[in-house]
Chains A and B, each alone.
Chain A
């Protein structure tokens, strides 16, 4: 029988040291379909993608395309076969223009001798790039530097680059994790267009709703093994989660109804020119205050100002009713504010240090005798938090980089809990955390609130904000544009508030223009 699949990966195995990352995995893909690749962190998704992309050599297995065996030994081989991978962190050279990036693989030489000498035809490259940008619906100038583009436009540039390479298979590794909701919909439109052109898309995401929305089929991996391939429409979310984690997980958010106590944090008129305008709110002991809004609404900027990582121009911050002066993160920590940043690898952890050192870092100076660390106190403290937060594996001498995403996040949380903060700011606490660990992080957040910590929860996943928070503040363009109680808050309400502001702005701009005329 002649195989009709565009891509077949048969019996793929890969071992890293003592860990069997992939064990006899089969994967097939038809032209013009969207295949979701699902599984917890460490299930082997990235390894499979990287073998397909030629970034890792495989230990065993075969790769067939259109019924013929192919050899992929390098990213160049994969590219020649029309396989493109768009990684989460992108593969663009930020200091070059969009056009230079889109045609990095083939810089559109001039015809004739000049071309043979390597002289580039800038105009041809720009025009060709323009055509591709139009196809993916990007409005940016091909001559714009990539570093000036938003994340969403960098992603579109990556897709244009894939098209320039005549990709037949485009793999997208968590393409939506850094995108605001309205950009996600645009991305899905583009994926549907790619589908119609017969391009196969492999879509990796932790978000089930998205998988359901865009994918035709789903391949589930667990612990390096293939669990199954299913048609998305024929499977429930619960079944899918069970396939991924191997057990039933309570996907309901574990929010306990609590009576928040006295006000712990009061922010008055916080302003940072061009970024934040007159932010006012209060946070009470034991309260989870959710901040919703589109990406770029100023939520991260606000939390950085409160914590002291960035300066602000005017306004005041009161802790337990007393004004505090916070000029640096050091001041913020001293005042009793903890900050779990959105990017735990770049900002939250010191990856090459041990779990113990990472957890102890925030309070190391308190556990000293004349400046010299009492390591036995540190050890018992760290062991305590590792147990309480169920950090796995519970070996504190492991380096942070050896832990999975969810457990890395627990380490960051442990670091701040050790400080016994009054206020804890959580910026995207479950980004890139797999389903099982996500539920654990949610339970933990709930527990911390019960212990009386005031929690600021920033998340771009609306269900998370809506279900975990006692109150929700909606931000847009650096301002708080709405406050909703837990009961009032719905996805529609929040999205309306978050986007209505920009509509008003453009209306006003329109009026002003008319007045000028």
Chain B
């Protein structure tokens, strides 16, 4: 009798304890915002809560989210990468040219595109680490240079007419799940595991926490910093290729200004612009929030011209919540 009476209480207490720990996680706030937003939209609109719509959001924003995975690593080291939008276009173009002009099979073309993104990332990293440019300046410069190369080599023309095997990646499904979403989930798990379990993951946080201390502890600070920019370039490259595949076209203006959405995703997800703090899970949630918000604005018939203002407001709100949370702890 006594056992039966105490047992449910024990389980309840355990659940509460788990919930309490979960709520203390930095992502708890952002997750609850996302859920509230979804709840609100499910009640106010009839079209939001359909699997078609939800998967559409996930697919359309998986590229932003994949790029956000890379920039999360850069931001945690205390850097920034403004060139991710240009890298998306550049890698997308290289992949597209590989398919159409150089007649590469699909997989090598994709790898070539990812590699191209990695090269731009490497240049970013070397400018910052070897030539001591401020990350903001180096990647702002590379934003222009990379976009210029894309526009210059194509003379402003689009590249299209891809094999079906390629467009399937961006447009197809496995079961009910769009393929880009599968890419996102796999990459998020890989990067998340890397940051948590690989020793370089700890170094990334250490460098952002205090670069001088990291240096004086004998950590390979230079290599780690170059590495995060390469990763940001490669992940943005992959994201750019997914965009080309989804739209069936590589346009020189593709992903123009995406860097702001990518950075916003990470920041909304609790990644600190001052370095040292943030998680992959948070960044993905941040991208989802942006996706759901854009979708919500459409569903609620807010004129397209006003959407930017709302997104800007959400970024400020997220930053305020973050400050409040830190002050409380």
Contact = CB atoms under 8 A, between A and B. Distances in A.
A406 interface: no
Contact of A361 (B198, B202, B277): B202
Interface string A326-361: 001110111000010100001111111100010011
Contact of A357 (B202, B212, B220): B202
Interface in B173-232: 197-200, 202-203, 205-206, 209-210, 212-220
B276 interface: yes
Given A330-B218, A330-B220, A350 B198 contact: no
Contacts of B219: 330, 361
B215 A309 contact: yes
| Most chain B beta carbons < 10 A, residue from A334, A348, A360 | A348
Interface in A342-384: 346-353, 357, 360-362, 364-365, 367-368, 371-373, 375
Contacts of A371: 198-200
B221 to A, nearest CB: 8
B223 to A, nearest CB: 10
Contact of A347 (B197, B203, B205, B216): B216
B215 A350 contact: no
A422 interface: no
A217 B219 CA distance: 48
Nearest to B329: A17
A48 B216 CA distance: 35
A351 B209 contact: yes
Interface in A305-335: 307, 309, 328-330, 332-334
A284 interface: no
A410 to B, nearest CB: 16
B210 A329 contact: no
A348 B199 CA distance: 19
Interface in B269-316: 276-277
B216 A329 contact: yes
B216 A341 contact: yes
Nearest to A304: B216
B44 to A, nearest CB: 40
B200 to A, nearest CB: 7
A365 B277 CA distance: 21
Contact of B277 (A346, A352, A368, A373): A352
Interface string B247-278: 00000000000000000000000000000110
B206 A373 contact: no
A367 B203 CA distance: 14
A415 interface: yes
A426 to B, nearest CB: 13
B205 to A, nearest CB: 6
A62 B308 CA distance: 51
A308 B154 CA distance: 49
Interface string A429-454: 00000000000000000000000000
Nearest to A344: B213
Contact of A350 (B199, B200, B206, B218): B206
Contacts of A333: 217-218
A368 B213 contact: no
A347 B199 contact: no
A304 to B, nearest CB: 9
B278 to A, nearest CB: 11
B212 A353 contact: no
B217 A361 contact: yes
Contacts of A341: 216
A346 B210 contact: yes
A415 B212 contact: no
B328 to A, nearest CB: 9
Contact of A365 (B199, B205, B212, B276): B199
A350 B216 contact: no
A371 B220 CA distance: 14
| Most chain A beta carbons < 10 A, residue from B198, B214, B218 | B218
A353 B216 CA distance: 16
Nearest to B214: A350
A347 B212 contact: yes
A328 B222 CA distance: 11
A365 B203 CA distance: 10
B193 to A, nearest CB: 8
B206 A357 contact: yes
A339 to B, nearest CB: 6
A393 B305 CA distance: 56
B276 A352 contact: yes
Nearest to A330: B218
Contacts of A367: 199
Contact of A348 (B209, B216, B220, B277): B216
A362 B213 CA distance: 11
A122 B25 CA distance: 53
A339 B216 CA distance: 8
B210 A351 contact: yes
Contacts of B197: 372-373, 375
B194 to A, nearest CB: 9
A368 B205 CA distance: 17
Contacts of B212: 346-347
A373 B202 CA distance: 9
Contact of B206 (A346, A348, A361): A361
Nearest to A349: B213
Given A353-B206, A373-B202, A329 B218 contact: yes
A349 B214 CA distance: 8
A368 B199 contact: yes
Nearest to B210: A350
A350 B209 contact: yes
Given A347-B212, A349-B210, A350-B206, A362 B200 contact: no
27 contacts: A309-B215, A309-B216, A330-B219, A332-B218, A333-B217, A339-B216, A346-B212, A347-B212, A348-B213, A349-B213, A350-B214, A351-B209, A351-B210, A352-B209, A352-B277, A353-B206, A360-B202, A361-B202, A361-B203, A361-B206, A361-B214, A361-B219, A364-B202, A368-B198, A368-B199, A371-B198, A372-B198
* Nearest 9 pairs of A and B residues by beta carbon: A333-B218, A350-B209, A364-B199, A350-B210, A330-B218, A329-B218, A372-B197, A352-B209, A352-B276
Given A309-B216, A350-B276, A357-B202, 20 more contacts: A328-B218, A329-B217, A329-B218, A330-B219, A330-B220, A347-B210, A347-B212, A347-B216, A348-B213, A350-B214, A353-B209, A361-B219, A362-B217, A364-B202, A364-B203, A368-B198, A371-B199, A372-B197, A372-B198, A415-B217
